[in-house]
Structure 1
């Protein structure tokens, strides 16, 4: 078996797996199975117990019975070893777009995290095959649609199971290839699934949890970036710095909200420099920004708890306690915690889109922008009448924001009874996670527009003779300089699609370091 062991391989089995571990593997880090003897013995005991019990004609769901509503169908001993193969094949009906290789690697890692707990009845050989796929960058091609989030992610995870046995397609170097050919090239032997192993791979929450890990990381960065944009907008509008005073937030002490206010306060250097504003109170999209962004910032700890508890759980059915010799039939495949986390996260993220969209509206409109040119046009006076600056970009942000807000309808309340009313209440966790990613995508577009508009606005403000140049503090000047590496100030109308896309990519790559001393 070919199994590269990267120096930066993340250990699975005996240690707590974090969101950051899954993101690191999604982005190319390797994996390895723990050498911890206690964990290894638990894994082996679970596999041995399944092997011995079914041969003694014990009744185990999905091993000596059919699946789901077919659990009353007994499987004769001579067909038991064929049953897992049939499970992988009849679930090969996924539709829609396919998860990209980054998501595919996260899915492999999330399933490995659960199975190596040692309560799923799988052999070390299967776990090592998952490790080999991660380390050789062999990534199952998984369609996004087809899971109701209980009995777990059956249909999408069938593509993981199929890849392990040498069927369907995988990504290699970003290209789709026939799995059997790839395994031959890598000197990897397709697995023959043992009883319970097909069910163990498929009957869990790995797809929704993997997507949740990636979504969490994107949202965490957006909270910080929306904070920086707000500081830029406050200066561009000649806003009131007192709105972010620590004494104000001490009397409403949500910690995340206070952190956002402190970051803005620091960006404005407001603790050292008092600046007068024309207005006693700025409009809500500036004054209340810590309260809006703070909802997301304060949600991150409990979202992490939900996601990482699910990630580090045995979440298939039945649970196989090999050491205690128990088969525990339950419903750990139910993705309710991830569904709720993703429904909640997408609401908090969409509110960032709405916030930045409203800030954009203030920057564009001469009735509200405190002396900036209409639509942030940088054109000279004699050419101002034919130039429109960011007018269309602001229309675009409204469109992206509206779509993001539309997608905040909670998926988890749309349970559908399915599979002969066996799965009569389901989580919809995978749909919630996919919705959250769409909201993130749209919000990143809005924030990209906000970054460019705020940079343009500060540049225009710098040209005004009565502007206090010290208002553009070192953090804001640094941000402007980094943005302007790819962005030329708009002095004459030009298409901005290209730079918007570049800026979205910079956001997704988390290119700009934000508040590095406040980790």
Structure 2
């Protein structure tokens, strides 16, 4: 099995995706194992000394003033997993839960959580065996961390709960038997250390950021293809424009679209036409796409920082031999970034849908109505635009920020929460909606090319068109288009279209 080494720093979104979606395993560095061991020695000593340590020798949340006897410290840790596993809704996707598990192990690797090395090893063994705990999607308020979803992961390690394996839903005990583990006998503080962190929102958000960054590149491609068949100008890609307003994403988007349409016979053919300038959805595409790109880049910075952070409470400090009580479990940084990115990706879909409308509207495109011959008998791409409109409208509803809605919990002890997991979940859904909208634009642009002219488009447009046509044929007569949209979404997610374009014109950033 291929593995990624987890230590103090250095985990990237690419690493997370490989673990979550490609079945890559994880191992700890020797330094991580040493830090975990030193931190556990401190916890064990404090328990022997009957020192007051939150969540180790006390209750949780509003019950933190309740002292737990040395005799009951183990039972306390089992109780926290069971009492906090109150999630509802559909199970989180398998890739999200694998990402959650890897991120929690990454947190352990920093040596601040206070678990034993054998506990960290049990998480790793479960992950590497391909066992995925059943984690209901709803129930986290994003502080103190993602208590509810992480508790459902922890249940499997003590032989409770459920897991997915080879397409089957099995008991936690059977899952442990498959990977040769006995149920964990938790020691002081370990139950809390397993669930007090931001790994659910970070897993969902991290995968959404990765997908959004990939989608932004395809959005540039879709816009470039639409611009060609809508007889748009390349003037809007002139680097001098973007040097005068040097937002980095704007310049990259313009450069991408310029490269994709380079040497286009279509664009050259109308260089001296009477149109003064293009509609905003074409002319301002670098500015709109670029602003979204910059928001996605910001979200990536936040998420990769969170991935390489210690997010529990208490935080054990092996070097000083002490512990610190704080609020690193609070999901505010992730929540704000996810709500911001949610709006940014929604805008990529918004402007794409307006280009789709220009493509299917004969008064705006000069092409056959709804991009099909025998209009009236055939409806062509009429309803594809309806679907895009429905998706962008749905995205607008989900772009309302979750982070502004704090509801106090735990008898007002936890009197401000982030709702960051809600932010991440809705952001993931917005990204998926946007993927479908961009797929519809790509499909319409390819159809428009078939109807338009015998002149050659730009090399990038031609490469994308060829890949699309291998998967989705020209629409001669009405057929079921939902399968075609799904095919194009698969091409976006696999990167096949971009690979072909980059082989033709160089890197699309």
Same fold (TM over 0.5): yes
**1:142 aligns to what?**
135
Task: Provide the secondary structure at the position in 1 that maps to 2:363.
Answer: coil
Q: Cα distance, 1:199 vs. partner?
A: 0.6
Q: Cα distance, 1:301 vs. partner?
A: 3.2
Contact 1:240 1:280 in 2 (8 A): no
- Say which of 311, 315, 331 aligns to 2:307: 311
Contact 1:12 1:31 in 2 (8 A): no
Contact 2:35 2:109 in 1 (8 A): no
1:190 and 2:183 are equivalent in the alignment? yes
- Say which of 30, 46, 49 aligns to 2:42: 49
- Say which of 97, 100, 106 aligns to 1:107: 100
Distance 1:433 1:509 in 2: 22
1:293 and 2:289 are equivalent in the alignment? yes
Distance 2:179 2:201 in 1: 29
Deviations 1:306-352 (A, max 9, x none): 11111111100010113311121111100111101100111000001
Contact 1:243 1:287 in 2 (8 A): yes
Contact 1:356 1:450 in 2 (8 A): yes
**1:455 aligns to what?**
446
**1:178 aligns to what?**
171
1:354 and 2:350 are equivalent in the alignment? yes
Matches within 5 A, 1:323-472: 323-369=319-365, 371-377=366-372, 379=373, 383-462=374-453, 469-470=455-456, 472=457
**1:34 aligns to what?**
28
Distance 2:388 2:26 in 1: 44
Contact 1:444 1:504 in 2 (8 A): yes
Task: Provide the secondary structure at the position in 2 that maps to 1:132.
Answer: helix
Distance 2:460 2:380 in 1: 26
1:517 and 2:507 are equivalent in the alignment? yes
Q: Cα distance, 1:156 vs. partner?
A: 0.5
Distance 2:195 2:8 in 1: 22
1:485 and 2:476 are equivalent in the alignment? no
1:121 and 2:117 are equivalent in the alignment? no
- Say which of 191, 199, 207 aligns to 1:214: 207
Shift in CA distance, 174/511, structure 1 to aligned 2, threshold 3 Å:
farther
**2:223 aligns to what?**
230
**2:487 aligns to what?**
502
Q: Cα distance, 1:149 vs. partner?
A: 0.2
Q: Cα distance, 1:507 vs. partner?
A: 2.2
- Say which of 274, 280, 304 aligns to 2:276: 280
TM-score for both structures, normalised by structure 1: 0.94
Distance 1:143 1:510 in 2: 30
Contact 2:217 2:508 in 1 (8 A): no
Contact 2:87 2:148 in 1 (8 A): yes
- Say which of 154, 171, 195 aligns to 1:161: 154
Q: Cα distance, 1:278 vs. partner?
A: 4.2
Deviations 1:388-433 (A, max 9, x none): 2111111111111100111100000011111100111001100000
Distance 1:35 1:401 in 2: 45
Task: Provide the secondary structure at the position in 1 that maps to 2:375.
Answer: helix
Contact 2:369 2:375 in 1 (8 A): no
Could you list the runs of 5+ residues in structure 1 that have no partner in the other structure? 1-5, 464-468
Q: Cα distance, 1:477 vs. partner?
A: 1.0
Contact 1:10 1:29 in 2 (8 A): no
Distance 1:185 1:384 in 2: 59
Distance 2:181 2:274 in 1: 70
TM-score for both structures, normalised by structure 2: 0.95
1:64 and 2:54 are equivalent in the alignment? no
Contact 1:260 1:294 in 2 (8 A): yes
State the aligned residue count.
Answer: 501
Distance 1:271 1:499 in 2: 27
- Say which of 237, 249, 263 aligns to 1:256: 249
Q: Cα distance, 1:166 vs. partner?
A: 1.6
Task: Provide the secondary structure at the position in 2 that maps to 1:386.
Answer: coil
Distance 1:100 1:41 in 2: 33
Q: Cα distance, 1:34 vs. partner?
A: 3.1
Deviations 1:331-385 (A, max 9, x none): 110011110110011100000110110001111112211x2111111x2xxx333
Could you list the runs of 5+ residues in structure 2 that have no partner in the other structure? none
1:23 and 2:17 are equivalent in the alignment? yes
**1:10 aligns to what?**
4
Task: Provide the secondary structure at the position in 1 that maps to 2:19.
Answer: helix
Task: Provide the secondary structure at the position in 1 that maps to 2:160.
Answer: coil
Q: Cα distance, 1:270 vs. partner?
A: 5.8
